[in-house]
Structure 1
Amino acid sequence: MNRQRWAAVVAPLAAGALVLSACGGGTTGGGNAQVREMGTADINAQPVENLQDGGSVNLPLAQWPQQWNLNQVDGASVDLFLVGHAISFEPFAQQADGTVKVNTNFLLSADLISTTPQVVEMKINPKARWSDGMPITWRDIQANWQAQNGKNGDYQPANTAGWEDIDSVERGADDQDVLVRFGKPFSEWKGLTNFIYPASHYSTPDQFNKDWVDQIPVTAGPYRVKQIDNTGKVLVLERDPNWWGPKPKLDTITFRQVSASAQPQAFAGGALDAVDIGPDVATFQTLQQDADAEIRTALAPNWRVLNFNAKAGTPLSDPQVRIGVIRGIDRVALGKAVIGPIVPDVRPLNNRIYVEGQKYYQDDGAPYSYDPAAAGKALDAAGWTLPAGGQVRQKDGKPLTISLMYPAGTPVSANEGQVIKQQLSAIGVDVTFNVVDLNAWQTQYLQVGNFEMQNMAWEGTPFPISSSSGIYIYDPNNIAQNYGRIPDTEGIGDLFKKSFTEFDDDKRAAIGNEIDQALWREGFSLPLYQRPDAWGVKKGLANFGAFGFGAPDYTTVGWMK
């Protein structure tokens, strides 16, 4: 389960891979305000009869995927999600209001036919085919379960939540009838099947982990792979002539890797038709002045975060040090400094499970708000004291120096880093920077825990509890997306398990907020602010832009007549 767009675990975004989140505003300067209500998208929505038949569109990837299996731990990224909607078996379609509906191109129905025990029946559209001509069947669902249920340690899934609760995936009345039987209840079951991959390339650990490295062997969507250039970092998709659903309007879609800082220039030069602005003020201001651009904004479940590493022997292994750092950062000032020109009323995000705009969002962070005096007391209690006349705290003669890692070419991360460094220096914490290669930061630094602090973004989902479990549960045998290896001393894992068995939405949400409160006590990470969902899009491009809580339908993306 992966938490990109709606999937089930949150996807890591290269800091500055500028994903979508809650921003309002338009193309004029001082009138911007943060959108606080969900339910809309800003995509120049048009009926397909208003669109040209043919043409191409060029879209950016801030980070080039090396692993094209989104369910594998190295593949969980928003860039890959943007591609996946065009070429993948996607059982459910996410809506702008945060709900999902059955994607009838792939499923005729998906129903909870029993709760004791829990049984889900999915009926696959008999027209559905993989690009190699093989029909999509129950065996594909079975292979995805076996790869992600955690029973075979040679598979490396991004998350096992929900999949591990399934006892069996069986054939029903025919090959297109799937019966999923749960040994334990799993309330957010629709979040399991974000993208399904073919059994032909998923049935062994080697296939799951390696078949999708630097290649996309099989697709199942309105588009298929025409060309993939891992050297030039360009992926060209073309209409799949065997696609059984509504005919796409575009002939081709080209994805090219362009760093966040270079995207405005690529847009101006015609190499890109859309730019994910996110919280990048410079990009926002540049595109405001571009006569060919429209700024499109919407509320979305995306947010910036400062992650900590609890590696033994380092300062942040102590929860009190993490709490001290949290209370030493003025997130109001940070937000205004970084994205104030886009969102003048930006405010801190105070929940890791729910975001503003979602029904169950509540402010759990008030007891951990900016307070330099309280921060100093926490650090003192942890043994890190300020020597007389000194500027950096020490313990056993060692200075309190913490490294902040972020990828090069991500101005948002760099700007946040400068503010964090300045603010923490005021409480005696010395922050240094480790700026790493963008295309290596995930596999060589993030995944393996090769950092002390790092700032990035998460993109949320309509299934916020199960989707975030891989981030916050600690399992030393399956780190999943708990990149900082933060141990669980607050019963967080047990709370997640409890939530999975609760089918009442209100009661499950109450458990979700208990989880967030425990994460604050743990000093797990620091949510910074909800990211602006802002895109600069070339005028005339329809059904693309700020999708909010929704996702692109590439069969409807095209150019106005």
Structure 2
Amino acid sequence: MRLSRWAVLVAPVVAGALVLGACSGGAQGGGNAQVRQMGGMEVNAQPVEKLKDGGNVNLPFSQWPAQWNYSQVDGASVDLFLVGHAIFAEPFLNQPDGTVKPNPNFLTSAELISTSPEVAEFKINPKAKWSDGSPVTWKDFQANWQAENGKNGAYEPASTAGWEDVDSVERGADDQDVIVRFGKPYSEWKGIIGFLYPASHYSTPDQFNKDWSGQIPVTAGPFRVKQLDPTGKVLVLERDPNWWGPKPKLDTITFRVVTGTAQPQSFASGAIDAVDIGPDVATFQTLQQDQTADIRKALAPNWRVLNFNAKEGTPLSDVRVRIAVMKGIDRAALGKAVIGAIVPDVRPLDNRIYVEGQQGYQDNGAVGNYDPAEAGKELDAAGWTLPAGGKVRQKDGKPLTISLMFPAGTAVSANEGQILQDQLGKIGIQVTFNTVDVNAWQTQYVQAGNFEMQNMTWEGTPFPISSSQGMYTYDPNHTGQNYGRIPDTEGIGDLFKKAYAEFDDAARLKIGNQIDQALWKEGFSLPLYQRPDAWGVKKTLANFGAFGFGAVDYTTVGWMK
């Protein structure tokens, strides 16, 4: 399963920090296979003049988004991110080269008008309006700041990064002029806004937490809600006739829940028109044989991770045990077994802030390198010893048993689980499985911290530092996306503050690596491998597929004539 990481917006960003390989297919020397084999975007790019006017496209959800506020702690999912580009206000657009630019449909300009003190000015497109007919104004920005700055504990944001450093959001020359004054330097200022939500449904904790639960009260995109059926788990969008931007080519977009294992069959039957293959080799191989499918790949900041829970009284609350688990896992063998058919020379990912193909990436993972002998020493030091003739380590008469939680129907998670169980068994750790309902996985297990270990995918953003703060900082009163409640004994929070105060891009990249090095020492989590962004898409569907560091523009998606 996948979650989006984002701190200040849907996709927080580091200005000018990302660089992608320019190639698109074909083997070239050097670097990871993903850099050599995947370009910045592969979507069957076509001018809209070559597309039919009208029609529907069917897209799959892996799970039903019960919370439609992407900024709320239960809302940050890849499924909602995919929908959000069609129906939500999106002031900035992620580009395939890893940069962002103002979305002209919502912003006519976005500038940093002062660095000391830091002040940003956003000018809203006067045509921009919500589906209830009201204009988008500075008050909407102010409501988003108040909801997501962490000052009122009744709000439950996924992250407070960026907004927590803002002192005020004020009206400028008119209602479409927004002045954002920072109390602390925040170098990734463009990342404070992802999807913008309306003040009319965002101005109180109840509105923020509950108005978007099970419903979508207001939209502001090229499409609007036609049908939302939580029982049948179907969402149908239709063109919004009041949309002021480029007219979409499609009449409707239909999203329906289809479990990962069922998606290839649904694709073959025509029930869905695209499948997010990701690292699923079985799906990849099945779609390779489908004559209607086009396999589209792109380099992307998506990666698999093994998360730990530091709950008091459990084995993983001891950093030595977490380090031992990391050293007991042969990530190279795991990656090859799981996605070798898609990325033949896959290798371990050794950084949690930057991915390969992204400026700033370096190997910081020596602490977690595969070394079963050292893993055994760490466990011995932690008091978990192997009894004579035994296979499972014990401490005070209790066996060293750790549960791995993952959602039912996710073959990649299950396959990884079998490998982790085998590898960790060799160093005396017994791994058991807790397979849970896919629709309860995020809210009842991940968000609630109801697990010991869990494997999943992080869907990265163009803002690798600010999008990571909610994942890696520790606040006992607001867990954010630090689902395992891993404490901060290495000064990680202070390093994030240092990064935000650094406006020099090169210097900020170095601080990002210092954060990652501290995370290795903390035994925070174990990055496994960079996940391929691979999609199987109907051949005649244009401008949709593997977007890499970019994002879908639903006004250009359509069927070729």
Question: TM over 0.5, yes or no?
Answer: yes
Structure 1 counterpart of 2:251, one-letter code: D
Question: Who is 1:35 aligned against?
Answer: 34
Q: How does 1:334-373 map to 2 (within 5 A)?
A: 334-373=334-373
Match of 2:250 in 1: 250
Q: 1:536 maps to what in 2?
A: 536
Deviation at 1:97, TM superposition (A): 0.5
Partner of 1:477: 477
| Residues 1:196 and 2:196 aligned together | yes
Q: CA deviation at 1:448?
A: 1.0
CA distance in 2, matches of 1:9, 1:280: 29
State the aligned residue count.
548
User: Partners in 2 of 1:493 and 1:6 — Cα distance?
Assistant: 16
Pairwise CA distance, 1:312: 0.3
Corresponding position: 1:238 with 2:232: no
1:83-94 to structure 2, matched below 5 A, reads 83-94=83-94
Is 1:46 the counterpart of 2:54? The answer is no
**Contact 2:226/2:236, CA 8 A, preserved across alignment:** yes
1:501-540 to structure 2, matched below 5 A, reads: 501-540=501-540
Give the Cα separation in 1 of the matches to 2:5 and 2:371.
Answer: 34
Q: Are the aligned partners of 2:73 and 2:480 in contact in 1 as well (CA < 8 Å)?
A: yes
Whole-angstrom CA distance in 1 between matches of 2:7 and 2:296: 23
Equivalent residue, structure 1, for 2:75: 75
TM superposition shift of 1:25: 9.5
| Partner deviation per Cα, 1:58-117 (whole Å, 9 max, x = no partner) | 011101100000000000101100000000110111110100011000000000000011
| Contact 1:6-1:462 within 8 A present in 2 as well | no
Match of 1:174 in 2: 174
How far has the Cα of 1:5 moved from its partner?
A: 8.2
Residue 313 of structure 1 is matched in structure 2 by 313
2 CA distance for matches of 1:97 and 1:366? 30
The whole-number CA distance in structure 2 between the counterparts of 1:25 and 1:261 is 28
Where 1:464 maps in the other structure, the secondary structure is coil
Aligned to 2:323: 323
Taking structure 1 as reference, are residues 505 and 25 closer, same or farther at Cα in structure 2, changes over 3 Å only? Answer: closer
**CA separation of 1:39/1:116 partners in 2, compared to 1, >3 Å: closer, same or farther?**
farther
Cross-structure match for 1:272: 272
Within 1, Cα distance between the matches of 2:352 and 2:520? 9
SS in 2 for 1:60: strand
Q: 2 CA distance for matches of 1:187 and 1:234?
A: 40
Which aligned segments of 4 or more residues in structure 1 are displaced greater than 6 angstroms? 24-28
Q: 1:25 to 1:553 in 2, by over 3 A?
A: closer
- Residues 233 and 257 in structure 2, CA contact (< 8 A), matched pair in contact too: yes
Structure 2 counterpart of 1:525, one-letter code: S
Do the aligned residues in 1 keep the contact of 2:25 with 2:39 (CA within 8 Å)?
no
Query: Alpha-carbon deviation of 1:522?
Result: 0.3
Rounded to whole Å, the distance in 2 between the matches of 1:506 and 1:25 is 27
In structure 2, what residue type is equivalent to 1:495?
L
**Cα drift, residue 218 of structure 1:** 0.3
**Compared CA separation, residues 320 and 7, structure 1 to 2 (3 A):** closer
Tell me: CA distance 1:455–1:256, structure 2 relative to 1, closer, same or farther (3 Å). same
CA contact (8 A) 2:7 2:158 kept: no
Contact (CA 8 Å) 2:10, 2:194: kept in 1 or not? no
Q: Which residue of 1 aligns with 2:396?
A: 396
Distance in 2 between residues matched to 1:8 and 1:182, nearest whole Å:
14
- Matched-pair contact (CA < 8 Å) for 1:299–1:548: yes
Report if the CA contact (8 A) 2:7-2:468 is conserved. Answer: no
Contact 2:328–2:423 under 8 Å retained in 1: yes
Query: Within 1, Cα distance between the matches of 2:300 and 2:205?
Result: 35
How big is the shift at 1:367? 3.4
Does the CA-based 8 Å contact 1:10-1:460 persist in structure 2?
no
Structure 1 residue aligned with 2:57? 57
Deviation at 1:462, TM superposition (A): 1.2
Q: RMSD value over aligned CA atoms?
A: 2.0
* Equivalent-residue separation in structure 1 for 2:406 and 2:127 (angstroms): 45
> Which residue of structure 1 aligns with residue 142 of structure 2?
142
- 2:527 maps to a residue whose letter is P
Q: Give the letter for the 1:135 counterpart.
A: P
Q: Which residue of 2 aligns with 1:412?
A: 412
Distance 1:246 1:44 in 2: 20
- Structure 2: gaps spanning 5 or more residues: 12-19
Equivalent position SS for 1:256: strand
What is residue 16 of structure 2 aligned with on the other side? none
